[in-house]
């Protein structure tokens, strides 16, 4: 079991602490009394087969998987993918879970088996992605026969499974016509809802339950409808914090525990990013892989599994914080949210800082109402032409017009959602669906509603201005700007990256 | 643009000039004697030991061991090595017995962190070293001999997986290597998915290992899923044949395929 997270109060023995801004790392001195929330320790994974077998044989609710399988059963394995975790897993536990399920299916002489990747609005999986995540054995057995498909939220062959408030819910045809569906997923946060459910329905339904007026009750209703189409067995692995390879080993350890090898890795990483041209640094740090400890694997009925896995993640990652801070400081690491881009794009950076980090709490926010969030990121206009074309256009054309989610929804959303070029990129070129950036922005605005200001340290002033935020050159400047709102002696909490802290505010 | 942005909110263009940061950083660390003398903050928890690492794809990249003489003398092919991804030593390799050089061939193709021994099995596993267990001599040539319960027993005792391995082309390899041949003899090694023993009896595990190695041996062309499905089906055993026919078959030229399912 890894060491749990904790809050360090900076004293005169505390060394300078690691901060990350896009791809750049540095050691930053923090003022005495600053509270630093460290996530639970990152440790390497161990072989998860024992946990997976136990979850399949002794589910938290319902029959064991083996009892649901038999000759003649039409089995579909749904692999949930919501774009996380990032950095991607060195040993993707979904591969082992799928293999164990397939071995049970083989033992039960199930002939009709297919694998569906539930991606929702995220980029669909290419054959390369399937091989990388699910491994050679699954890929070579199923991919050549077209038995692994990535769900398409815009496909014409989705089937209607019921109505919610007059809206027809459509879902993947193969999953809807299966006798037994096994959903395989990962829990790496404290969010509600089932990622595989929204990964399998049509774009319109996703927009209805996770769009401008995100509706948790409607999401539950959709989950019930999807579950009613076939017998569903869910298996979810709860994972820990990212454990990085030796070239980034300093990210795994607390600063006062750094040894020579960590110090060398830190100095080398800084030097490479500072000295190499952008492409060179990108080659080195664009797609790091991380190992994640498998904290538990939970199997059974989808509702029970998601409740249980959420509890496990909470128990492993909750960090008690004494009170909401006046100023919350967050490092934003590009490799932690954008695939193949070590710096990260501005909208995803804002989502990471305000929703994923500042919004990761047990009900009481980490920053008080009227407080300030200080985030570190360069906010360069760094969008992938292929996978983030809608985001680039949103940033260039929509945000300079208005920041208001309702107005954006009325004026821009429908045309983007049906834009033939965006849809072509989504279906054929493995880009994100155009609605995704709209949903990100709605969540960013919700998260920043109660804040007096959002200040980006080292951020591009124009990008910050476009998002309605402010920029400062240094952390001290950011405190100076914030002091106009929170006073000269604010309570400051720093969320130490790159792991994720679940704030349990007393 | 209908929103008015502040006039000073201009796009920045970061300098492309390279900066030298390494000396200053290392000078900063010199104050801590490079990690030997550090001060722990008052309320920081104590340090914890780190567990071992698992085998990744990069660890099992097939780089020939050039210090191994056998690597220069045989033409070897490895299949299904991806099955080793994610394993953590020690493990038990269960392989079919074909000839005197079986263990050397297996050792040749395994990544360094999984290199095996076939002596003092229990002691080796206690020390974290993987072991190899072979079948008895096959009663019918060109078939897989019978496993004893040793592999299952060790796997149960140490809670570790068994990796089925099929070896081909090693029959009489030692004698063949003594001949003055113009071409190298061809051997192949095929790894199967690890078998986990939780909650199974020794007999059940042994039967599964036997079936897995048998299927691997017979089914170079089949996919993993096909092998999995075929594992439960009864298989017909090959007819008995004289030794020369076995060697004749072993040395027969095979059609060149660009893609192999197990690779």
A339 and A474 part of one domain: yes
Q: Do the Cβ atoms of B11 and A43 come within 8 Å?
A: no
- Is pLDDT at A161 greater than 50 in this prediction? yes
Q: Do the Cβ atoms of B18 and A291 come within 8 Å?
A: no
For residues A37 and A82, the answer to whether their CB atoms sit within 8 Å is: no
- Is pLDDT at B262 greater than 70 in this prediction? no
Task: Choose among A106, A254, A262: nearest Cβ to B228.
Answer: A106
Chain A closest-CA separation from residue B72 CA (Å): 28
B residues 142-171 near A, CB within 8 Å?
A: 159, 161
For residues A456 and A376, the answer to whether their CB atoms sit within 8 Å is: yes
Q: Answer whether residue A295 is part of any domain.
A: no
Chain B closest-CA separation from residue A140 CA (Å): 6
Give chain B's end-to-end CA distance (angstroms, integer).
56
Q: Do the Cβ atoms of A106 and B231 come within 8 Å?
A: yes
**Bridge pairing between strands A159-164 and A167-171:** antiparallel
C-beta atoms surrounding A276 within 10 Å: 15
Which strand (E) or helix (H) includes residue A117?
strand A112-118
Chain A closest-CA separation from residue B215 CA (Å): 14
Closest chain A residue by Cα to residue B229: A106
Which neighbouring-strand residues pair with B186? B75
Whether the CB of A61 is below 8 Å from some CB of chain B: the reply is no
**Bridge pairing between strands A17-22 and A24-28:** antiparallel
ipTM tops the 0.85 cut: no
A69 and A165 part of one domain: yes
A230 and A252 part of one domain: no
Q: Answer whether residue A454 is part of any domain.
A: yes
Task: Choose among B48, B53, B196: nearest Cβ to A41.
Answer: B48
Q: Answer whether residue A455 is part of any domain.
A: yes
* Structural domain ending residue among the three candidates A239, A274, A300: A239
pLDDT for A59-98, tens place per residue?
998 899 999 999 989 999 999 998 788 888 989 999 999 9
C-beta atoms surrounding A410 within 10 Å: 12
Which neighbouring-strand residues pair with A149? A116
For residues A70 and A110, the answer to whether their CB atoms sit within 8 Å is: yes
Whether the CB of B221 is below 8 Å from some CB of chain A: the reply is no
Total number of domains constituting chain A: 3
pLDDT for B35-91, tens place per residue?
888 788 888 888 776 666 677 777 766 566 777 788 788 888 888 888 888 888 889
Q: Please, what is the average pLDDT of chain A?
A: 91
Q: Is the peptide bond before B90 cis (omega within 30 degrees of 0)?
A: yes
Using a 10 angstrom Cβ sphere, with 0-12 exposed, 13-18 middle and 19 or more buried, the burial of residue B63 is exposed
Q: Which of B20, B25, B79 to mutate to test the interface with A (most CBs of A within 10 A)?
A: B25
Whether the CB of A108 is below 8 Å from some CB of chain B: the reply is no
Q: Answer whether residue A73 is part of any domain.
A: yes
- Closest Cα to residue B96, out of B128, B61, B60, B141? B141
Average pLDDT over residues A356-378: 94
Q: Answer whether residue A86 is part of any domain.
A: yes
Residue A368 has φ and ψ, to the nearest 5°, of -70, 160
Strand boundaries in B58-145, DSSP class E: 75-79, 92-95, 116-117, 130-134
Looking at residue A207, which CATH number applies to its domain? 3.40.50.11440
Provide the pLDDT for residue B260: 45
Closest chain A residue by Cα to residue B29: A263
Whether the CB of A114 is below 8 Å from some CB of chain B: the reply is no
Q: Residue A476 — very low, low, confident or very high, per pLDDT cuts 50/70/90?
A: very high
Q: Which residues of A touch B83 (CB under 8 A)?
A: 137
A265 and A383 part of one domain: no
A residues 322-361 near B, CB within 8 Å?
A: none
Domain of residue A16: give its range: 6-33+322-505
- Is pLDDT at A116 greater than 60 in this prediction? yes
Looking up tokens 């054309």 gives A397
Domain range summary for chain B, segments of one domain joined by +: 69-234
Provide the pLDDT for residue B236: 40
A142 and A251 part of one domain: no
Total residues found in chain A within this entry: 506
* Structural domain ending residue among the three candidates A239, A271, A295: A239
Q: Answer whether residue A304 is part of any domain.
A: no
A279 and A387 part of one domain: no
Strand boundaries in B69-216, DSSP class E: 75-79, 92-95, 116-117, 130-134, 162-168, 186-191
For residues A327 and A411, the answer to whether their CB atoms sit within 8 Å is: no
Q: Do the Cβ atoms of B35 and A258 come within 8 Å?
A: yes
DSSP string, A293-307: EEEEEEEESHHHHHH
Residue A246 has φ and ψ, to the nearest 5°, of -55, -35
pLDDT for A249-267, tens place per residue?
899 889 999 989 999 999 9
Chain B closest-CA separation from residue A488 CA (Å): 25
How far is Cα of residue B129 from the mean position of the Cα atoms in its chain?
14
Looking up tokens 């709605």 gives A442
Whether the CB of B91 is below 8 Å from some CB of chain A: the reply is no
pLDDT for B189-235, tens place per residue?
888 888 988 778 899 999 999 998 988 887 654 566 766 665 544 44
A21 and A141 part of one domain: no
pTM of full prediction above 0.90: no
């Amino acid at each position: 079991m890894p060491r749990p997270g904790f809050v360090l109060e900076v004293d005169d023995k505390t060394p300078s602490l690691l901060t990350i801004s896009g791809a750049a790392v540095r050691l930053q001195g923090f003022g005495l009394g600053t509270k630093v929330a460290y996530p639970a320790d990152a440790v390497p994974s161990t072989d998860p087969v024992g946990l997976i077998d136990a979850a399949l044989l002794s589910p938290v609710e319902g029959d064991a998987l083996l009892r649901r399988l038999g000759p003649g059963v039409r089995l579909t394995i749904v692999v949930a993918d919501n774009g996380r975790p990032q950095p991607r897993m060195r040993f993707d536990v979904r591969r082992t879970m799928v293999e164990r399920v397939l071995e049970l299916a083989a033992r039960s002489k199930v002939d009709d088996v297919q694998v569906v990747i539930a991606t929702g609005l995220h980029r669909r999986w290419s054959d390369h992605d399937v091989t990388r995540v699910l491994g050679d054995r699954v890929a070579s057995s199923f991919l050549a026969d077209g038995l692994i498909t990535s769900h398409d939220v815009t496909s014409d062959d989705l089937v209607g499974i019921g109505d919610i408030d007059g809206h027809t819910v459509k879902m993947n045809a193969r999953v809807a016509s299966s006798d037994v569906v096994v959903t395989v997923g990962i829990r790496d946060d404290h969010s509600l809802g089932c990622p595989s459910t929204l990964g399998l329905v049509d774009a319109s339904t996703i927009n209805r339950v996770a769009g401008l007026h995100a509706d948790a009750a409607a999401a539950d209703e959709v989950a019930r409808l999807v579950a009613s189409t076939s017998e569903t067995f869910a298996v979810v692995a709860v994972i820990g914090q990212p454990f990085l390879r030796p070239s980034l080993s300093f990210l795994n350890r607390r600063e006062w525990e750094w040894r020579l090898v960590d110090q060398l890795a830190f100095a080398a990483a800084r030097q490479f990013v500072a000295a190499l041209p952008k492409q060179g640094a990108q080659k080195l740090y664009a797609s790091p892989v991380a190992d994640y400890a498998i904290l538990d694997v939970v199997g059974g009925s989808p509702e029970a599994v998601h409740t249980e896995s959420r509890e496990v993640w909470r128990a492993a990652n909750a960090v008690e914080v004494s009170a909401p801070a006046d100023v919350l400081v967050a490092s934003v690491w590009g490799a932690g949210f954008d695939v193949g881009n070590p710096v990260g794009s501005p909208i995803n950076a804002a989502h990471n800082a305000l929703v994923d980090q500042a919004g990761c709490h047990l009900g009481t926010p980490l920053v008080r109402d009227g407080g300030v969030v200080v985030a570190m990121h360069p906010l360069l206009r760094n969008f992938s032409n292929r996978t983030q074309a809608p985001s680039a256009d949103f940033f260039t054309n929509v945000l300079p017009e208005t920041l208001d989610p309702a107005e954006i929804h009325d004026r821009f959303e429908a045309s983007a959602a049906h834009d033939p070029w965006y849809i072509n990129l989504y279906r054929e070129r493995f880009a994100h669906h155009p609605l995704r950036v709209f949903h990100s922005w709605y969540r960013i605005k919700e998260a920043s509603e109660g804040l007096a200001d959002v200040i980006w340290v080292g951020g591009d002033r124009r990008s910050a201005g476009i998002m309605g935020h402010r920029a400062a050159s240094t952390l001290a400047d950011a405190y100076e700007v914030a002091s106009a709102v929170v006073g000269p002696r604010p309570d400051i909490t720093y969320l130490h990256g790159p792991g994720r802290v679940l704030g349990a505010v007393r | 643009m209908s929103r008015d942005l502040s006039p000073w909110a201009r796009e920045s263009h970061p300098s492309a000039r390279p900066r030298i940061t390494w000396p200053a950083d290392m000078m900063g660390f010199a104050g801590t004697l490079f990690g030997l003398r550090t001060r722990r903050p008052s309320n920081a928890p104590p340090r914890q030991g780190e567990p071992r690492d698992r085998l990744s794809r990069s660890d099992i990249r097939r780089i020939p061991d050039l210090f191994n003489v056998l690597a220069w003398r045989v033409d070897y092919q490895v299949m299904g090595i991806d099955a080793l991804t994610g394993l953590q030593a020690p493990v038990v390799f269960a392989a079919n017995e074909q000839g005197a050089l079986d263990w050397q061939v297996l050792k040749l193709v395994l990544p360094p962190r999984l290199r095996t021994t076939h002596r003092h099995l229990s002691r080796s596993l206690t020390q974290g070293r993987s072991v190899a267990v072979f079948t008895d001599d096959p009663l019918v040539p060109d078939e897989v001999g019978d496993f004893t319960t040793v592999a299952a027993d060790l796997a149960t005792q140490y809670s570790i997986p068994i990796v089925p391995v099929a070896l081909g082309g090693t029959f009489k390899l030692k004698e063949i290597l003594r001949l003055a041949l113009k071409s190298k003899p061809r051997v192949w090694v095929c790894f199967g998915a690890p078998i986990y023993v939780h909650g199974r009896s020794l007999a059940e595990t042994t039967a599964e290992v036997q079936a897995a190695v048998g299927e691997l041996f017979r089914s170079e062309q089949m996919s993993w899923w096909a092998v999995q499905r075929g594992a439960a089906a009864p298989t017909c055993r090959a007819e008995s044949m004289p030794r020369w026919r076995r060697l004749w078959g072993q040395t027969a030229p095979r059609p060149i395929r660009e893609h192999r399912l197990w690779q």
